[in-house]
């Protein structure tokens, strides 16, 4: 069979991606440079004088069909949020913030010691809009983000109309953060209609997300003239640098508008594909209209997603704050949707849809505590005259490098002060394990660990979606006997006789991947050598039985092999 890769280095480069990581943690436009942004040096002619943003002010106002008094340019969305807190504190206004929310609002709460009501989210992590509106009073400001960060939840147009109406009836205001609105596509223009209807509404937008200009720090506030005037009075006079103004002007052109629209549509399509894969794997998603997805569900699957992305050099958001009022722990991930989807999809499939699962045999598929371990103890006692314990065996196995039980028995014997060769150890070991004459060997005491149901699903039914292989440190004949004992049929068995280098070398796993022409694989084992082999092969490393395997690179540890079924 023709190998998929010329050598292991080629394999590592393919499965682990490029040297530069794919950043999918800050919702930036990290893998698709704006086509309308020409590669040219910023003019230095204007750097000696204070920046003049009037030209950009006119351009943005015309872009949206608004009067210039209805627009305030800000130093990114962050300055706009800072102005909100300054405005609320100076006017002693109560803030209402439904959670989950963008972390910057919680930073502002602490920095300004603001009077703010945090509203607990609904059970599915959507905002409790009804409760938030119910908390409004004279002079209060309701902070909404739509699409929301970190969930992507979109407040529909009718919902925004009702919120603005109720707020106005109570003498309250609405601060609407639309940093991700371009990705909602059809909702992009609708919220702007609300500006003409309501004088108690301020809308925040930015060039940091869909426009791909997070580095220039340019945002803006939209609203009726009187409320924008109040925010503008609190801003620094020269809050946008000249280079920012120069680049931002390029964003507010028809060519940029068309490109951003097409880019956003592609992200929306990719978001649906990612969502389908996650949902089909039993994970929970808030329906997202942003350039990211918020994922909850089985902690083990979330851990595997994190591990797979790390192996493929993809950075995702794993530490989310501001999800609940008391900041109680919520198991969740947020992943930015890239323009070029293949690397992310491959990583998610590695985590959730393995093409091949490799199993170590001893301690994973078969209980060998009364066979191999007993043979180790008997061998050491016969050769040294001293008794060793199960703890002694586990101590060496835990160090790594003792995947071969003959080598392990030799080391334990040497520790007792008796120097012996590997050949002698092997002969004594085999006499106990295989038996001789009428004496049954310890191998007769072996029992399957894997359940009949899981065995049938992976080794007998010959699944078209998931292939299975045994990658063991046993010699070939004993590996075949083990497979026959548990009842596996027509299984791929890669024994220690089939490789040039034993585990922790990844050779056995790579051979199995090549045999089935697969790229995404898992390895289940109970020793540090198994974990090392898995990681070196770019596979998911699943430890069995001992949490200490996390120290040796396990991506997930299960109590026993039968828990695997809950992950498939």
Residue 16 has pLDDT above 60, yes or no: no
Residue 435 burial class via C-beta count within 10 angstroms: exposed 0-12, middle 13-18, buried 19 and up: middle
| pLDDT-derived band at 42, boundaries 50, 70, 90 | confident
CA pair distance 437, 123, nearest whole angstrom: 67
Query: Domain extents for the chain?
Result: 16-30+271-352, 54-256, 356-363+447-567, 371-445
Higher local confidence (pLDDT), 394 or 162 = 162
Distances (CA, A) of 410 to 285, 433, 474: 53, 15, 16
| pLDDT-derived band at 214, boundaries 50, 70, 90 | very high
Residue 353 has pLDDT above 50, yes or no: yes
Of 332-346, 438-452, 553-567, where does mean pLDDT reach its minimum?
438-452
CA pair distance 395, 491, nearest whole angstrom: 32
CA pair distance 361, 371, nearest whole angstrom: 13
Is the pTM for the entire model greater than 0.85? yes
Which residues make beta-bridge pairs with 133? none
CA pair distance 226, 58, nearest whole angstrom: 18
Reported as type and span, the H/E element at residue 197 is helix 193-197
The angle formed by the CA atoms of residues 110, 111 and 113, to the nearest 5 degrees, is 60
CA pair distance 407, 433, nearest whole angstrom: 15
Of 24-38, 166-180, 295-309, where does mean pLDDT reach its minimum?
24-38
CATH code 3.90.1150.10 for 16-30+271-352: yes
Considering the chain, what percentage of its residues have pLDDT values greater than 90? 75
Task: Give per-residue pLDDT as tens, 362-374.
Answer: 999 999 888 888 8
> Are the beta carbons of 423 and 455 closer than 8 angstroms?
no
For residue 447, the SS3 value is strand
User: Which runs of E-coded beta strand occur in 499-555?
Assistant: 521-525, 540-544
> Mean of the pLDDT values across residues 260-272?
96
Q: What phi and psi values does residue 468 have, to the nearest 5 degrees?
A: -130, 150
Given the DSSP bridges, would you call strands 540-544 and 556-558 parallel, antiparallel or unpaired?
parallel
CA pair distance 520, 348, nearest whole angstrom: 10
Q: 452-481 burial, b for 16+ CB within 10 Å, e for fewer?
A: eebbebbbeeeeeebbbbbbbbbbeebbee
CA pair distance 213, 259, nearest whole angstrom: 14
* pLDDT value of residue 402: 81
| pLDDT-derived band at 18, boundaries 50, 70, 90 | very low
* pLDDT value of residue 462: 61
CA pair distance 251, 271, nearest whole angstrom: 24
* pLDDT value of residue 20: 84
Residue 490 has pLDDT above 70, yes or no: yes
Which residues make beta-bridge pairs with 398? none
For residue 522, the SS3 value is strand
Picking from 279, 286, 284, 307, the residue whose alpha carbon sits closest to that of residue 296 is: 284
CA pair distance 87, 91, nearest whole angstrom: 6
User: Which runs of E-coded beta strand occur in 120-211?
Assistant: 141-145, 173-177, 201-206
| Residues present in the chain in total | 568
Task: Give per-residue pLDDT as tens, 529-549.
Answer: 999 999 999 999 999 998 999
**Helix 103-111, helix 76-90: angle, nearest 10:** 40
212's CB contacts (< 8 A; 6+ apart) are 28, 29, 32, 33, 34, 37, 263
Picking from 544, 535, 555, the residue whose alpha carbon sits closest to that of residue 450 is: 544
> Mean of the pLDDT values across residues 98-118?
93
Residue 208 has pLDDT above 80, yes or no: yes
Task: Give per-residue pLDDT as tens, 73-95.
Answer: 999 999 999 999 999 999 999 99
Q: In the 8-state DSSP scheme, what is residue 362?
A: B
- The structural architecture, per CATH, of the domain 54-256 is 3-Layer(aba) Sandwich (3.40)
Q: What is the mean pLDDT of the chain?
A: 91
Picking from 264, 79, 256, the residue whose alpha carbon sits closest to that of residue 181 is: 264
Picking from 253, 271, 309, the residue whose alpha carbon sits closest to that of residue 16 is: 309
CATH code 3.30.460.80 for 356-363+447-567: no
The angle formed by the CA atoms of residues 296, 299 and 304, to the nearest 5 degrees, is 100
- For the record, the structure tokens of 330 come out as 């919520």
Q: In the 8-state DSSP scheme, what is residue 509?
A: H
113's CB contacts (< 8 A; 6+ apart) are none
> Mean of the pLDDT values across residues 341-368?
96
User: Which runs of E-coded beta strand occur in 428-466?
Assistant: 435-436, 439-440, 447-448
Write the DSSP string, 271-292: HHHHHHHHHHTT-EE----SSE
Residue 385 burial class via C-beta count within 10 angstroms: exposed 0-12, middle 13-18, buried 19 and up: exposed
Write the DSSP string, 487-506: T--S-EEE-GGG-SS-TTSS
| pLDDT-derived band at 464, boundaries 50, 70, 90 | low
Picking from 119, 201, 189, the residue whose alpha carbon sits closest to that of residue 162 is: 201
């Amino acid at each position: 069979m023709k190998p998929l890769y010329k050598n292991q280095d080629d394999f590592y480069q393919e499965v682990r991606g490029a040297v530069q990581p794919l950043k999918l943690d800050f919702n930036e436009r990290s893998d698709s440079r704006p086509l309308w942004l020409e590669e040219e040096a910023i003019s230095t002619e204007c750097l000696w004088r204070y920046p003049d943003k009037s030209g950009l002010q006119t351009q943005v106002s015309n872009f949206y069909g608004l009067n210039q008094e209805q627009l305030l340019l800000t130093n990114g969305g962050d300055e706009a949020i800072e102005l909100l807190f300054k405005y609320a504190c100076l006017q002693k206004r109560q803030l209402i913030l439904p959670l989950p929310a963008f972390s910057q609002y919680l930073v502002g709460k602490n920095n300004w010691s603001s009077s703010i009501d945090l509203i607990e989210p609904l059970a599915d992590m959507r905002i409790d809009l009804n409760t938030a509106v119910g908390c409004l009073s004279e002079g209060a400001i309701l902070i909404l983000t739509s699409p929301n960060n970190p969930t992507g939840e979109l407040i529909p147009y009718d919902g925004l109309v009702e919120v603005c109406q109720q707020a106005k009836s109570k003498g309250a205001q609405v601060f609407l953060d639309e940093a991700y609105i371009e990705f909602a596509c059809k909702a992009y223009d609708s919220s702007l209609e609300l500006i003409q209807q309501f004088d108690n509404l301020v809308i925040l937008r930015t060039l940091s997300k869909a426009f791909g200009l997070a580095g220039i720090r340019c945002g803006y506030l939209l609203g009726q003239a009187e409320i924008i005037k109040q925010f503008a009075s609190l801003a620094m006079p020269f809050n946008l640098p000249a280079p920012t103004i120069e680049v931002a002007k390029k964003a507010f052109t028809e060519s940029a508008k068309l490109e951003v629209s097409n880019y956003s549509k592609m992200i929306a399509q990719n978001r649906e594909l990612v969502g389908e894969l996650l949902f089909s794997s039993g994970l929970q998603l808030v329906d997202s209209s942003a350039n990211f997805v918020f994922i909850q569900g089985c902690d083990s699957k979330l851990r595997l997603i994190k591990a797979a992305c790390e192996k493929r050099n993809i950075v995702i958001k794993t530490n989310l704050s501001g999800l609940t009022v008391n900041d109680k722990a919520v198991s969740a991930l947020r992943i930015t949707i890239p323009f070029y989807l293949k690397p992310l999809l491959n990583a998610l499939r590695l985590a959730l849809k393995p093409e091949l699962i490799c199993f170590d045999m001893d301690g994973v598929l078969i209980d060998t505590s009364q066979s191999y371990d007993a043979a180790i103890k008997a061998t050491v006692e016969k050769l040294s005259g001293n008794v060793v314990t199960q703890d002694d065996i586990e101590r060496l196995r835990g160090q790594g490098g003792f995947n071969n039980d003959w080598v392990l028995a030799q080391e334990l014997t040497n520790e007792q002060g008796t120097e012996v060769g590997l050949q002698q150890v092997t002969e004594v070991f085999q006499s106990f394990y295989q038996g001789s004459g009428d004496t049954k060997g310890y191998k007769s005491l072996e029992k399957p660990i894997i359940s009949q149901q899981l065995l049938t699903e992976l080794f007998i039914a010959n699944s078209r979606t998931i292939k299975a292989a045994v990658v063991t440190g046993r010699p070939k004949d004993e590996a075949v006997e083990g497979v026959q004992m548990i009842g596996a049929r027509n299984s791929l068995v890669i024994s220690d006789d089939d490789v040039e280098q034993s585990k922790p070398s990844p050779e056995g796993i790579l051979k199995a991947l090549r045999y089935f022409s697969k790229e995404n694989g898992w390895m289940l084992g109970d020793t540090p050598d198994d974990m090392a082999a898995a990681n070196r092969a770019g596979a998911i490393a699943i430890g069995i039985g001992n949490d200490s395997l996390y120290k040796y690179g396990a991506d997930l540890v299960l109590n026993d092999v039968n828990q695997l079924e809950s992950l498939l």
